Copies of this chain bind each other. A is one copy, B any other.
Amino acid sequence: MQYPNNIKKNFTKLSISHGNRGMDLENSLNQSNDYYLRTNRALIYKKPTPIGIVDVSYTNHKKIIEKAYFKEQSTLDYNGLYRGKYIEFDAKETLIKTSFPLSNIHEHQTWQIRNVIKHGGIVFLIIRMNDIVYLLTGEDYINYIDTSNRKSISYKYIQEHAHIIKLGYQPPLDYLAVVDEIYFKGE
């Protein structure tokens, strides 16, 4: 993958300990996307983290970044093309067992989710919680925040509305199997 694994390592506090060789969620998704790419199943990439450059230098005509800081992605982290459709998603995890804090999802991300729905794309969140990885559709997410005043999504709502993604060996997280069921049923 084009994305340097070491950048976000320390933002990811959890590792998947059961049945997935201790991989964190981001690595599992990157490896799954690599697998989908190699097997011609889909073209899905994690976007590089945008940076703000403060200082550069030149060595042998090569531009080197001497100081920079991380910026926030305007979109969700992953996007691409699957079965002729635009697909975009983000991956989130929490250690809290009873609810998923909405502070994990930035306002511009919620704005982007609404927009992808409006323009006819497939959009969802992959949420890891209680050692289970769920896919929550953008529609179910928007429906929740538009009808609830809570600052978190109850685990009950996730259990009732989200879809479990099975952990495996190749790919580690076969989320496209769930996408097939939700968005391409009967095709």
Chain A contacts to B: CB under 8 angstroms: 1-4, 6-7, 10, 40, 42-43, 45, 47-53, 62-75, 79-86, 88, 112, 115-116, 118-121
Main secondary structure of the interface of A (DSSP, over half): mixed
**How many copies of this chain does one complex carry?**
2
Among B73, B74, B82, B119, which residue has its beta carbon within 8 angstroms of that of A81? B119
Can you list 23 A-B pairs, Cβ within 8 angstroms, ordered by A?
Answer: A2-B50, A2-B71, A2-B75, A4-B52, A4-B71, A6-B53, A7-B51, A40-B118, A42-B119, A43-B75, A43-B121, A45-B75, A48-B49, A51-B51, A62-B69, A63-B69, A64-B69, A65-B70, A81-B116, A81-B121, A83-B119, A84-B120, A85-B120
| CB pair B65 A2 closer than 8 Å | no
Contact A50/B119 with A63-B70, A64-B67, A64-B69 known, Cβ cut-off 8 Å? no
Q: Which residues of B contact A112 (CB under 8 A)?
A: 43
| CB pair B118 A63 closer than 8 Å | no
| CB pair A65 B68 closer than 8 Å | yes
Q: Which residues of B contact A2 (CB under 8 A)?
A: 50, 71-75
| CB pair B120 A53 closer than 8 Å | no
Alpha-carbon gap, A80 to B86, bound state (A): 8
